[in-house]
């Protein structure tokens, strides 16, 4: 039994993550789908709905897959990587599954990279699913 923390931020990311999960999860696995928002003035109602849609896209895609799926949307004022790592510790998760986008070095500095920060900041395995830029 593997416990996977899946970080998602958009429906498009969720679709790629779900396609990967459908191929690799086992019946006894638990998938925790997590969306993290800053909160306060930096988060609008539209942001909350988009996060809920991203979560729901994973749930819908895995409905016929025999795994346990739990969902969590955090609005704690943290960076997404902080929320993911804290939550993984709370549930004693085995691994992370996140999407990664191809970015230039400048883009990574300006916009950050949750996947990169997670890889560098955790001692848990991280499965990285390539995301296609639209």
The pTM is what? 0.89
Structure tokens at 99: 């999407």
Residue 107 reports pLDDT greater than 70: no
Report the pLDDT averaged over residues 80-87: 95
Residue 117 reports pLDDT greater than 90: no
Report the pLDDT averaged over residues 13-17: 95
All structural domains of the chain: 3-131 (3.40.50.620)
10 close to 50: Cβ distance less than 8 angstroms: yes
Alpha helix locations (H) across the chain?
A: 11-24, 45-61, 80-91, 105-111, 114-121
């Amino acid at each position: 039994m593997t416990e996977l923390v899946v970080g998602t931020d958009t429906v498009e990311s969720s679709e790629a993550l779900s396609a990967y999960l459908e191929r690799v999860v086992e019946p006894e696995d638990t998938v925790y789908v997590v969306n993290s928002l800053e909160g306060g003035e930096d988060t609008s109602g539209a942001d909350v709905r988009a996060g809920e849609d991203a979560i729901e896209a994973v749930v819908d895609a895995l409905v016929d897959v025999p795994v346990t799926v739990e969902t969590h949307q955090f609005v704690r004022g943290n960076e997404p990587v902080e929320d993911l790592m804290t939550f993984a510790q709370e549930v004693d998760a085995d691994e992370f599954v996140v999407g990664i986008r191809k970015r230039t070095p400048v883009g990574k500095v300006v916009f950050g990279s949750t996947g990169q920060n997670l890889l560098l900041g955790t001692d848990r395995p991280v499965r990285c699913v390539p995301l296609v830029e639209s």
